[in-house]
Amino acid sequence: MKATVTAHKDYAISRIDDRVYGAFLEHLGRAIYTGIYEPDHPTADKNGMRGDVAKLVKDLNVPMVRYPGGNFVSAYNWEDGIGPREERPVRLDLAWHTSESNAVGIHEFADWCDTVGTQMMLAVNLGSRGLDAARNFVEYVNHPGGSYWSDQRIKNGRKDPWDVKLWCLGNEMDGPWQVGHKSADEYGHLANETAKALRAFDKSLELIVCGSSNAKMPSYPQWEATVLDHTYDAIDYISLHMYFANREKNTPNYLALSVELENYINSVAGVIQFIKAKKRSKKDVYISFDEWNVWYHSNQQDRKILEGNDGWPHAPALLEDVYNFEDVLQVGLILNAFIRRADVVKIACIAQLVNVIAPIMTDPKGAAWRQTIYYPYYFASIYGRGTALNLVVNSPTYDADNVKGVPFADVTGVHNEDEGTLTFFAVNRNGKEALDLEIALEGFGDATIIDHQVMTHANLEAVNTAKNPDEVVPAKGTGASIKSGKLSVSLPPHSYQMIRAK
Ligand code: AHR
């Protein structure tokens, strides 16, 4: 089988916003406690943060991390997480039926972000609370001093404001499971008033309204239209979420889901344009895809806790998906979709970062290791920065149950003008045959291959564990070449690869 691609230096989609490689950490399960924070761990720093985890996060060069939720934020009092630790209240977390010790709050999280070299993207509670708590939180975080909340921050040990730009106005407010769930009109009105108040504090904030929790919600896409109708002039991004699952063990259908993801992005981009035209607005609103990942492996085992049959445990194992090799392909495909839609998707967050549906896993008191999906996320975050190229791809296709004409070869190209590099990310969705890929390079001069990484495995269900953390890892590719301006490479059946040229 053969696929051909043309990459021309001047055919660009858009500059990729670095923040498309963001991540998400929620007070959920062991993401925070025994994830990033474990004071008794042998690698813990003076703040109680695990050094082994911080190193794995740092290596990913994550541009920003969304915090503190998720569903958790919709019943969270941010003030519970400030002040002396021993005085902080233990609360019942209604979203995940657990207890929250509040040992980690905004100060500890901000310090951790400094340690791992990332920025904060914060969410305010528009479920059980509203505008007033939101504006106080923003004042606490961003005001230099001389006001009630900024002086409280200084009293609590942080002199300089953190100056956080990105603020999520609630989370998944379309979902009946959300504490304080609202209709699109109710939410749209509240989000608009909150946005206006936050803008009165600081015009330069970047504000994100909730779109649908997924494209199967009954209110989608009317939700987007109604919410944007209320908020268009006051906000900058609309958030989308999507989780991927292969419950039927049907790999061709599973690997076609990223086409549905692109349709979802297209539709919401269309709704944005519709409201822009309706309002005769000159302003653009973009997409913040602030929750995406594979999520299904752990569903069954989580039932007991989520149904409340285990009481209110503190930091139990929840949503601990163990990812397999097949998920490497899926994550590679999702990231390719974001690169292709770099014109409208400006922010995205892998959900989540540690332990909870995450590329990094830990054992309490024990090891931290990279799950299989760590690698495609790593390659995209490190090498997928620059300009997304508008490739012409000709690939044989297959029909999945819900999507016709799915290309076997899924390829994106990123031109980093500063470094003079060209990076291709390629997934072969075909499990039976290799694909000979030929990429015509136009306008790039005499490029040569500088790196080639391949991920493939005989067993789609192979996983990495604490005992065997290197079962699914990238290997140096062989056989890629550039001759007379044509890059040739073979994509083995069911493989992910990154090919770089300069
Ligand atoms: O990431 C896990 C959960 O998924 C988040 O809390 C919620 O926003 C979504 O439903």
State the pLDDT at residue 146: 98
Whether the per-residue pLDDT at 308 is higher than 90: the answer is no
What is d(CA 480, CA 449) in angstroms, rounded to the nearest whole number? 7
Computed over every residue of the chain, the mean pLDDT equals 97
Question: Residue ranges of the alpha helices (H) in 279-408?
Answer: 299-306, 325-340, 374-383
Whether the per-residue pLDDT at 407 is higher than 90: the answer is yes
| Atom 9 in ligand 1: residue holding the nearest Cα | 70
- pLDDT tens-digit profile of 383-401? 999 999 999 999 999 999 9
- pLDDT tens-digit profile of 79-90? 999 999 999 999
| Atom 8 in ligand 1: residue holding the nearest Cα | 70
- In this prediction, residues 129-158 reach a mean pLDDT of 98
Q: Which atom of ligand 1 is nearest to the CA of 175?
A: 10
- In this prediction, residues 204-219 reach a mean pLDDT of 97
Distance between Cα 214 and ligand 1 center (Å): 11
3-state secondary structure of 434: coil
Percent of the chain with pLDDT over 90: 98
Asked if the interface predicted TM-score (ipTM) of this complex is over 0.85, the answer is: yes
Whether the per-residue pLDDT at 309 is higher than 90: the answer is no
- pLDDT tens-digit profile of 147-182? 999 999 999 999 999 999 999 999 999 999 999 999
The full set of domains in the chain, from first to last, is 2-9+389-501 (2.60.40.1180), 17-383 (3.20.20.80)
Whether the per-residue pLDDT at 404 is higher than 90: the answer is yes
C-alpha triplet 420, 340, 498: angle, nearest 5°: 55
- In this prediction, residues 194-220 reach a mean pLDDT of 98
Whether the per-residue pLDDT at 92 is higher than 90: the answer is yes
What is d(CA 465, CA 368) in angstroms, rounded to the nearest whole number? 10
Q: Which of 66, 171, 306, 349 should be mutated for ligand 1, with most atoms under 8 A from CB?
A: 171
- In this prediction, residues 40-48 reach a mean pLDDT of 97
Residue 172 in contact with ligand 1 by CB distance below 6 A: yes
State the pLDDT at residue 445: 87
Burial class (CB in 10 A: 0-12, 13-18, 19+), 449: middle
Residue 291 in contact with ligand 1 by CB distance below 6 A: yes
- pLDDT tens-digit profile of 224-267? 999 999 999 999 999 999 999 999 999 999 999 999 999 999 99
| Atom 7 in ligand 1: residue holding the nearest Cα | 70
Residue 48: pLDDT band by 50, 70, 90 thresholds?
A: very high
pTM of this prediction?
A: 0.98
- In this prediction, residues 136-146 reach a mean pLDDT of 98
Distance between Cα 394 and ligand 1 center (Å): 36
Residue 118: pLDDT band by 50, 70, 90 thresholds?
A: very high
Rg, the chain, Cα only: 23
- Number of CB atoms found within 10 A of residue 403's CB: 19
State the pLDDT at residue 214: 97
What is d(CA 289, CA 410) in angstroms, rounded to the nearest whole number? 20
